[in-house]
Structure 1
Amino acid sequence: MPHRVTLIPGDGVGPEVSEATRRVLEATGVEFDWDVQNAGLGVMEQYGTPMPEHVLESIRRNKVAIKGPLTTPIGKGIRS
């Protein structure tokens, strides 16, 4: 039975890092069922938040998530 994992690619280099992480994990021979969810700056306009409730629900349901870097949408934080 595959392990269901929420995968949040993220912003900037996040999708590349997340894809590399996914490939490394799949190379172990363990079966995964990836529940890909979008979060970060790219969803701010649509949902008004960088982490929409349906993404949090996916994490709660699957009990595990892998998240790529996310851009800090407010403040003077360092961009990912």
Structure 2
Amino acid sequence: MAVKIRLMRMGAKKRPFYRIVATEARRARDGKYLEVVGFYNPLTDPAEVKVNKETLQKWMGLGAQITETVKALLKRQGIL
């Protein structure tokens, strides 16, 4: 089972809000997920990113791959 840490879109039309989730790579973008790692709100100024570091480390230790978008968000926040 290949696990990825990626964004899951939530919110209303034209008002996006994202959850950072650990999910199987073959699942749909907004489909079933294994665990919520954090969230990203691009509508606030500055954009708000909140991540549970223990959960992130757990999934990375289990071999989960981080998508490029999430990796860029985490680097900008100084988490990676």
TM-score normalised according to structure 2 size: 0.31
TM-score normalised according to structure 1 size: 0.31
**Whose strand fraction is larger, Structure 1's or Structure 2's?**
2
